[in-house]
A and B are shown apart, each in its own frame.
Chain A
Amino acid sequence: MNIGQSMLEALETLNGNKLRSGLTILGIVIGVGAVIAMLAIGQGAQNTITGAISGIGTNLLFVSSGNQVQDVRNPKPLTLSDAQAITDPFAAPDVLAVAPIIQGSGDVTADGQTMRVSVTGTTPVYFVMQNYSLIEGDFLTQDNLQGNASAVVIGPGVADKLFSRRNGVVGETIRINGQPFHIVGLLQSKGGGMFGSQDNQVIVPFTTAQTRLIHRSVLNEVDELYVQAASARAVPFATDEVKQILRQRHRTPVGVDDFSVFSQADFLTIATTVTGVFTIFLGGIAGISLLVGGIGIMNIMLVSVTERTREIGLRKALGARKRDILIQFLIESSMLSLIGGVIGILLGWFLGFIVGRIAAASGNPFNPAISLNAILLATLFSAAVGLFFGIYPANRAASLEPVEALRYE
């Protein structure tokens, strides 16, 4: 029997029982759709997160207080003098620049609109490191820093919310926690970041933040140091130099650093691992529904074999071998799952699209990515489900004795 004709015949048979075939296919559609959508969402999350991390530049190091791996007693906070020490070109030849960061949150107000934003206090070099660009105005300057100026650079999200426009906001005054600040620059949109959208932030001079907005217990304490290595290749050397300097300054015991240095590569690795596990987890849960769909196929095929006992007997009387019957029923069950798989891929794509839209509408732009691999996987898997769950019923059909089967009522 040739396969093409058998497939046509299988389609005819399935068509003869539309409701039943449809419901069985629906089980697979939901299973495959769920797998595709979940993989797409996982993949999309991974892309967004790794994209955000890649966006921060490949030659950046992040230094923070405390040790994430070991338990350290009384870690010393990082201070401006630590930052100063790291900029020493002799002790740290591979370090290009250091930006101290102090971060908090605050309410900004203008034109009667209020918004909660993240407030960052830093130095001018930070803008270069972060690859920021401006819609209008200027970055903070060294003068702003030394003059303790009430100057602020705002993200586009803040401009949208407070002024409902993205031009002519430079020169306006906003209040941060009640204190007036002059807008000197408006940042170009950068999209979502690791810790929320970077578009909803305001950046003020480090000195201003320290004295007026974000209070820290230790004099000149900073939350984080951003260190720019001379090049991506120099990142490991710069890491060693930074560690060396901080160990000396903090007088830590050997092997027990009270600070952590992360590079972008470290973050990427962690993020990829985490989102990978997340994707597998989502896919696995969705896989259960595919399994249930497969059991549905098996169930309906068993019913079909019983109903068509006479037909099987007749076919055998007319010369069908065991193998012919086996193939006939396997094709039917794989057709069910394959059709379900194709529709399921479309459904999954659609679900992913909807989730993407919802994410965009709620301010976290995020694109569920349907990879070719996911589609191949789902197609193969659904065909395999059809075959696997079809084997038992088909085998049962093929082993019927022709005499018994013909006599069956």
Chain B
Amino acid sequence: MTKDLVILAEDLMKVYQMGQVEVNALAGVSLSIERGEVVAIMGPSGSGKSTLMNILGCLDLPTSGRYVLDGEVVETLNDDQLANIRNRKVGFIFQSFNLLSRTTALANVELPLRYAGKIPDRRERARAALESVGLGDRISHRPTELSGGQQQRVAIARALINNPAIIMADEPTGNLDSKVGKEILDLLLALNRDKGTTLIIVTHDPVIATQTQRIIRLRDGLVEEKK
């Protein structure tokens, strides 16, 4: 196999116990994503999108199945090891930005580095990351002093800071107007072009999906893949 796979998932199942009923959120999803790809995950609500994102982002473990992220076998890891993988290999971007409102943009971007152990130049790295998303002049602003688009840029800088293997973006433009949303999407795509960052975007929006290289459609916990 010559392809450099960053994600290899085989037959992922996730079963939730809802009272007496068992719900199959994922009913055997297999997929692979190459390094440097931009992939959109689409599907109606209840199709298992979020569950798949949580598992691919190592926030949750599959009930059964096999998942290899950037060479690490994930399904056997314990909580602390999962935290470590999330820290080093996954950058999250959320619909509602999820910044800590009490601290500055710089401190928000620095946060993943603080959980990564001793990193001497983390302030400089955080500053550089903010500059790379065009917020070099906003480093000491608090999230409440920034516009939605700027907040999402801070979140992107935060996702990039540890040079992750994948960036998981969950409706990254969902809380933004279309103009700012396009800017954010362009920024993400530019990062993919310039740095070769693997990008997984979970979205409802077909306009966004068409800008990606590949769309993975989910329905009832299963993949209907089209190139």
Chain B's closest residue to A320 (CB) is: B115
- Shortest A212–chain B CB gap in Å is 83
Q: Are A319 and B80 in contact (CB under 8 A)?
A: no
**A161 CB–B CB distance under 8 Å:** no
**A13 CB–B CB distance under 8 Å:** yes
Q: Assuming A311-B100, A314-B100, is B80 touching A321 (CB within 8 A)? A: yes
Chain A contacts of B114 at CB under 8 A? 1, 5
In the bound complex, CA of A5 to CA of B111 (Å): 11
Main SS at interface, chain A: helix
Chain B's closest residue to A308 (CB) is: B100
Question: Could you tell me which residues of chain A, from 289 to 313, have a CB within 8 Å of some CB in chain B?
Answer: 310-311
**A322 CB–B CB distance under 8 Å:** yes
- Shortest B80–chain A CB gap in Å is 5
Q: Are A317 and B84 in contact (CB under 8 A)?
A: no
Q: Are A319 and B98 in contact (CB under 8 A)?
A: no
Chain B's closest residue to A16 (CB) is: B102
Which of B36-44, B54-62, B126-134, B182-190 lines the interface with chain A? B54-62
Chain B contacts of A401 at CB under 8 A? 60
Task: Count residues of chain B with CB under 8 A from any CB of chain A.
Answer: 25
Chain B's closest residue to A5 (CB) is: B114
Question: Could you tell me which residues of chain A, from 373 to 409, have a CB within 8 Å of some CB in chain B?
Answer: 401-403, 406
Chain A contacts of B162 at CB under 8 A? 319
Chain A contacts of B15 at CB under 8 A? none
Q: Are B92 and A318 in contact (CB under 8 A)?
A: yes
- Shortest B150–chain A CB gap in Å is 18
**B88 CB–A CB distance under 8 Å:** yes
Q: Which of B86, B92, B115 contacts A324 (CB 8 A)?
A: B115
Chain B's closest residue to A317 (CB) is: B92
Chain B contacts of A324 at CB under 8 A? 115
**B83 CB–A CB distance under 8 Å:** yes
Q: Are A12 and B87 in contact (CB under 8 A)?
A: no
- A-contact 0/1 string along B71-106, CB 8 Å cutoff: 000000001100110111000101000101011000
- B-contact 0/1 string along A177-215, CB 8 Å cutoff: 000000000000000000000000000000000000000
Chain A contacts of B80 at CB under 8 A? 321-323
Chain A's closest residue to B117 (CB) is: A1
In the bound complex, CA of A401 to CA of B112 (Å): 18
Q: Are A318 and B103 in contact (CB under 8 A)?
A: no
**Residues of A at under 8 Å CB distance from B?**
1-2, 5, 9, 12-13, 16, 310-311, 314-324, 401-403, 406
**Residues of B at under 8 Å CB distance from A?**
54, 57, 59-60, 79-80, 83-84, 86-88, 92, 94, 98, 100, 102-103, 111-112, 114-116, 118, 158, 162
30 contacts between A and B (CB under 8 A): A1-B115, A2-B118, A5-B114, A9-B103, A12-B102, A13-B102, A16-B102, A310-B98, A314-B94, A314-B100, A315-B111, A315-B115, A316-B59, A316-B86, A317-B57, A318-B86, A318-B111, A319-B87, A319-B112, A319-B116, A319-B162, A320-B115, A321-B83, A321-B84, A321-B115, A323-B80, A402-B59, A403-B54, A403-B60, A406-B94
